[in-house]
A and B are shown apart, each in its own frame.
Chain A
């Protein structure tokens, strides 16, 4: 069964600090991996998308990495801001119409 596991479930950091969120998946075959940001009360918004051949992709202060051999991805947030407080969801697409969603990591940034 295709699965996406995210860790930690929740994280609290101080403004200005860096943090890394983890995503492990068992989806096969693999097409791409996406990270979404979901602000409270809103729908998810895509941050990055990576295919099999890409191992790093940045979007401003967000940097995603992918190790397709170990089936792991991470999302690194640099110099966190209060607006980074959100849920971050890892999504993996494979050979079917239905992508596999992780349950998300809830990040809280304190001033």
Chain B
């Protein structure tokens, strides 16, 4: 089992560029989450999904879009990157929303 994987690990974007972060899990988990982590702010939820084909907004959804076309994948898109989106992005999955979440290794994104 690879667990939760994230692609890419690092990325530098210019303001206005777009990109997609990929999260994949091989544990057959229903629930998947995208977080961003900034110094002193802790983990903040961007979007989440409770099953294939579903998505919902979290605490800080503005500027991001997501898709869950396949159960094992959860994509996070930035249509027009801004410097405020410089952060470390973590994906997580769980079999039940009351159970522990399994986190990926993170994607470090810098927007210049």
Contacts and interface: CB of A to CB of B under 8 A. Distances in A.
Binding partners A and B: yes
Interface of A: 31-32, 34, 41-46, 49, 89, 91, 93, 96-99, 101-104
A84 B45 CA distance: 26
Interface of B: 4, 31, 40-45, 48, 50, 56, 58, 90, 92, 97-101, 103-106
Given A101-B43, A104-B42, A43 B105 contact: yes
Contacts, number: 47
A10 B44 CA distance: 19
A43 B103 contact: yes
Contacts of B103: 43-45
A5 to B, nearest CB: 11
B90 A43 contact: yes
Given A42-B106, A43-B90, A103-B40, A98 B45 contact: yes
6 contacts: A34-B100, A43-B92, A44-B90, A97-B31, A97-B56, A101-B44
Nearest to B44: A101
Contact of A103 (B41, B45, B92, B101): B41
